[in-house]
A and B are shown apart, each in its own frame.
Chain A
Amino acid sequence: MLRKVAIGLTLIAFGVMFFAAAVTIRPFGEPPSAMDDYIIEHSQQETGANNAVSAVVFDYRGYDTLGEATILFAAATAVVMLFRKRKDEASD
């Protein structure tokens, strides 16, 4: 019972917060675009790629992509590690 009340209160708090955010945020479809206009205008000259998203992923924010590839690597390593064969498998 207490648990349910706690869940309810947390949810109401978060819900109010997020709905307030959703209502007060700027209208859908009219973003400010100082940074992105630079990319749209210059990506073709600077990177040669037609796809501006690819230009961002691999050039302007390539470091993030490196991190992301690392995460996938870490996850694959971790999953294989978790299901590795153990020496004490037989006695387990």
Chain B
Amino acid sequence: MSKIVRTVAKLLTPAILLFGLYVIMHGHITPGGGFQGGAVFASGVALLIVAFGAGRVEQFLKEHQLSMLESGGGLLFIGLAFAGLATAFFYNFLVGSPIFGHVPAFGPNPGDIWTGGTIPLMNVAVGMKVIAGLSAIVLVMALASSKQGEDE
């Protein structure tokens, strides 16, 4: 794409990435969560791909790194689920504990990020997974597409 688009993409990428992380981290108090934030973040990667080309992006975002990140997110998620196994799989064992343990009163309140038990951590895990998964999908498909173009 043209210079203008590239410049704007450079400007917007940090904003999109930050916004994605914001959506992930505030999943339990505002609309959003791991999936949504991860999708926003992955769209940032897609923006880089469209502005600079998949070949450029691949230089600093390797596919095996994404694979590691994805496995890591999955392991963190299922590990959190296993951690509740003392009572039941997926038991929210952090509610009331010092980590993310505040419990709000029933009804509308201004929202406190230090609540939710395992939910924020699971948001992070799913966020990692979705970021890695969607970025890997878009990146691999774009690379395959450009390679296909060269062959012909």
Q: Do chains A and B touch in the complex (CB under 8 A)?
A: yes
**Interface band, chain B:** 35 or more
A-contact 0/1 string along B96-133, CB 8 Å cutoff: 10001111111001011001111100110010011011
Complex-state Cα separation, A59 to B27, whole angstroms: 13
Q: A72-B129, A79-B137, A83-B143 are in contact. Are A58 and B101 (CB under 8 A)?
A: no
Q: Which residues of A lie under 8 Å from residue B102 when comparing CB positions?
A: 48
Q: B122 is contacted by which of A46, A58, A73 (Cβ under 8 Å)?
A: A58
**Is B85 at the interface (CB under 8 A from chain A)?**
no
Contact A83 B144, beta carbon cutoff 8 Å: yes
Question: Which one of B81, B92, B112 has the greatest number of beta carbons of chain A within 10 Å?
Answer: B92
**A48 touching B117, Cβ below 8 Å:** yes
Q: Is the CB of A49 within 8 A of B140?
A: no
Contact of A51 among B31, B66, B133 (CB under 8 A): B31
User: Is A48 touching B137 in the complex (CB atoms < 8 A)?
Assistant: no
Would you call A63 an interface residue if the criterion is a C-beta within 8 Å of the partner chain's C-beta atoms?
yes
